[in-house]
Amino acid sequence: MTSLPSLPTPKKLGLVIDLDVCVGCHACVVNCKEWNTGGYGSALSDQDPYGADVSGAWLNRVHTFEVVPDGGEVVGEAGEARIVHFPKSCLHCEDAPCVTVCPTGASYKRAEDGIVLVDEEKCIGCGLCAWSCPYGAREMDLAAGVMKKCTLCIDRIYNETFEEADRQPACVRTCPANARHFGDLADPHSAVSIMVAERGGMDLMPEQGTRPVNKYLPPRKRKPLADSAQSLPSAENTDEAKGFFAWLDGMLDRI
């Protein structure tokens, strides 16, 4: 059934991604592919994998943006321009347009925890859900002819044969910078909800009316480079020299 759950889901499982911390290493991208090509549903195929025109289905991708404030020019040269690495996977929206457009009932949002999934046994590969998603969260698997998307590693997070620490999505578990966090965003006392409240976590494209569950933490305000440069001790300044160095400083001044 591709109608959305009629009531708000009691849990809203999702990710919080810290744009201040992400270093753009793509470890989450690779571990996502590695886990999910052997996990839920069909394998994530690649086309022409060893050729010049390689492409394939990925559920998580890292884009890199340059943000230039007014008056800023090129990164590193002027103004406060900065580079932001931007991981993007399914946002498990509360008003997920990809669910309601599905003609077969393959695309659905779980009433218990809000995870948006594709039942690959029902998917006909029409691609309309990918068209309806403003975030580009869904990619067709061209070998299997079915739509693939982030499952929030549903085969990890509820897997009781795993150690507690491993019951997290692969991208979160592998992030070496701790830029990705997983939790229940419906619970105001969860670590992710507190993080969102403290850091001003935001929705992507709120104007699309999709009400994403995943939140992004904006980069922290950066201290201008020039300010840091002024506080460095100057090599010419010997006022703070003590003891032997003060004596040496005085002697050298005299000769």
Q: How far apart are CA 103 and CA 127, in angstroms?
A: 10
- Chain centroid to CA 130: how far? 19
Neighbour-count burial of 240, counting CB atoms closer than 10 A to its CB (0-12 exposed, 13-18 middle, 19+ buried): exposed
CA distances from 123 to 47, 101, 128, 215, 221 (A): 20, 12, 11, 28, 45
23 part of the interface to other proteins, by CB under 8 A: no
Residues 186-225 binding other proteins (CB under 8 A) are 202-209, 216, 218-219
Q: How far apart are CA 191 and CA 171, in angstroms?
A: 17
On whether the CB atoms of residues 196 and 185 are closer than 8 A, the answer is: yes
By CB under 8 A, is residue 2 in contact with other proteins? yes
CB of 127 to other proteins, least distance (A): 7
- The bridge status of strand 139-141 relative to strand 116-118 is unpaired
Beta carbon nearer to other proteins, 221 or 242: 221
Burial grade of 130 (CB within 10 A; 0-12, 13-18, 19 or more): middle
- Residue type at 240 in one-letter notation: E
Q: In this complex, which beta carbon is closest to other proteins, that of residue 143 or of residue 238?
A: 143
- d(C-alpha 189, C-alpha 47), whole Å: 44
Nearer to other proteins, 97 or 169 (CB): 97
Residue 132 in the binding site for other proteins (CB under 8 A): yes
Pick out residues in 161-180 that bind other proteins (CB under 8 A). Answer: none
Q: How far is the CB of 71 from other proteins (least distance, A)?
A: 9
Measured from the CB atom, the residue of 123 and 172 that comes closer to other proteins is: 123
What minimum distance in Å lies between the beta carbon of 108 and other proteins? Answer: 10
Tell me the closest approach of the beta carbon of residue 190 to other proteins, in angstroms.
Answer: 21
Check binding of 236 to other proteins (CB under 8 A). no
Q: Strands 116-118 and 107-109, how do they pair?
A: antiparallel
142 binds other proteins (CB under 8 A): yes
69-128 binders of other proteins (CB under 8 A): 69-70, 72, 75, 80-84, 86, 88, 97, 99-106, 122-128
Q: Judged by CB under 8 A, does residue 20 bind other proteins? A: no
Please give the C-alpha separations between residue 173 and each of 29, 193, 215, 248, 252, in angstroms, as whole numbers: 12, 19, 18, 55, 58
Distance CA 9, CA 111 (A): 5
Binding of other proteins by 53 (CB under 8 A): yes
- Between 204 and 249, CB nearer to other proteins: 204
Nearer to other proteins, 64 or 159 (CB): 64
Of the pair 39, 219, the CB lying nearest other proteins is at 219
- Residue from 38, 145, 188, 250 touching other proteins (CB under 8 A): that is 145
Work out whether 65 is an interface residue with other proteins (CB under 8 A): yes
When asked if residue 131 is in the footprint of other proteins (CB under 8 A), the reply is yes
